[in-house]
Amino acid sequence: MARLIYLQIGAVSHRAMIKESGQLTALYEIPANSKTPVYFPGMRVAGKISRVDKALGVVFIELQGGGRDGFLPLRQKQILSEGQKVTALIKRLGSDNKGPILEIASGKPPPEITEPSPLGGLLDFLEAGQGQIKIATNHMSDVAPLLQAQDIILRDLTGDEEAELDEAFDEALAWELDLKDGASLVFDELEALTAIDFNLGSGLGQSKKGAIIKSVKTALPVLATQIRARGLGGQIVIDFPNEAYSAREEILAAMKKRLPAKAKVGPFLGSGLLHLTLPRPMPSLLFQLTQKTRDKRPGRRYRPWVLLAKAVRELEQALAADRSESFEITLAPALFAESENNPNWQIRLAAHYGQRFSIVKTYDLGEKKWDIRGNP
């Protein structure tokens, strides 16, 4: 199957959108200046066993390049000892502060990591799989030397495609997504479960059963796309109106067609609840780009590097649009500190556009504005 990848290279983060047969199937965003390797499922990494905990039945492995230790289940007849060098295969990435789940890999050891290359790791991950790959990117000179396959078609990313990528990320991180007929989808993600609520539009609340079922069917392509774009996995429960149960066979067939092959679709209960189970090789997009709030109210807020990336993308757009004007970027203290710790973005922008920007720290921007959900 042919894949088209929109790859937006940024000074603070790199973003990718994958489309298969014209349909959005995945979104990724990684820090561009990470001081430790950025891992992906399926990656082979050299490591050293730091601890064998027989009581827990777990082996902790220090991965080359730093970062959090990974771990693997200790199986019977497995002879592993502290200090032993191994080649680890990343099976699943942990969320928040948890390390990846590993297994021991065979074959030739992976090359030594002398300096983390987030973009190189992302490209290796995106190249995996079968079928023709086309990559549209805003910086071909950065991407071309890192490609492993020789038959990848590389071209420039258009302005319309960048706008499409921006919209895809905005929708995939929205708590409530409005649909064309006035209905909406509300996504509540927790570590163990994702609940999706289908809300009827105000004009459909008292409508006939047929109109409600039509609204549900219209929403199914968007719903399936959002599940994939958000990287949702594990247990998912969708709350449809009770009336949808009479069209359950058609709804189940439509979801099976649009979701990954390994997805388990069903059961569909008479109350309108549809249960899904999907593999979860890595945290969802929300959990990758946000962190828990520090106050008592449960929620999540953008990680500092994600917010800085948003601000710098807008700055870069302004610099590119007007080659003579100078600009000022205003950052809250935490983002100013993030910028100071990762000055590479300033060097990159200055090399492309000249030193036509300045950075100002302000205390007027409160951290509560970072809250991604904006729940009352």
SS3 string of the chain? CCEEEEEECCCCEEEEEEEECCEEEEEEEEECCCCCCCCCCCCEEEEEEEEEECCCCEEEEEECCCCCCEEEECCCCCCCCCCCEEEEEEEECCCCCCCCEEEECCCCCCCCCCCCCHHHHHHHHHHCCCCCEEEEECCHHHHHHHCCCCCCEEEECCHHHHHHHHHHHHHHCCCEEECCCCCEEEEEECCCEEEEEEECCCCCCCCCHHHHHHHHHHHHHHHHHHHHHCCCCEEEEEECCHHHHHHHHHHHHHHHHHCCCCCEEEEECCCCEEEEEECCCCCCHHHHHEEECCCCCCCEEECHHHHHHHHHHHHHHHHHHCCCCCEEEEECHHHHHHHHHCCHHHHHHHHHHCCCEEEEECCCCCHHHHECCCCC
Domain spans in the chain, listed from the N-terminal domain onward? 3-35+116-169, 44-104, 175-278, 294-370
Q: Centre a 10 Å sphere on the Cβ of residue 290 and count the other Cβ atoms it contains.
A: 23
Rounded Cα distance between 106 and 90, Å, is: 13
What pTM, to 2 d.p., does this model score? Answer: 0.89
pLDDT score at 225? 97
pLDDT tens, the chain, 376 aa long: 689 999 999 999 999 999 998 999 999 999 998 877 888 998 888 889 999 888 888 999 998 877 778 988 887 677 888 999 889 899 999 877 788 999 888 877 777 766 778 898 899 899 887 778 999 999 999 999 998 877 899 999 999 999 999 999 999 999 999 998 889 999 999 888 999 999 987 665 555 888 889 999 999 999 999 999 999 999 999 999 999 999 999 999 999 999 999 999 999 998 999 999 999 999 999 999 998 877 666 678 899 999 999 999 999 989 989 989 999 998 988 899 999 988 889 998 999 899 999 999 987 765 544 444 443 2
Superfamily of segment(s) 3-35+116-169: ATPase, nucleotide binding domain (3.30.420.40)
Which residues does 33 contact at the CB level (< 8 Å), separation at least 6? Answer: 12, 118, 342, 344, 345
Residue 275 tokens read as 């249960």
Classify domain 175-278 by CATH architecture: 3-Layer(aba) Sandwich (3.40)
pLDDT score at 366? 54
pLDDT score at 216? 93
Find the angle CA(199)-CA(291)-CA(39) to the nearest 5 degrees: 110
Rounded Cα distance between 207 and 210, Å, is: 8
Pick the CATH number of 44-104 from 3.40.50.1100, 3.40.50.720, 3.40.190.170, 2.40.50.140: 2.40.50.140
pLDDT score at 54? 86
> Order of strands across the sheet with 264-268?
176-178, 184-189, 193-199, 234-239, 273-278, 264-268
Residue carrying the six token digits 């009581």: 55
Q: Interhelix angle for 209-229 vs 159-172, to 10°?
A: 110
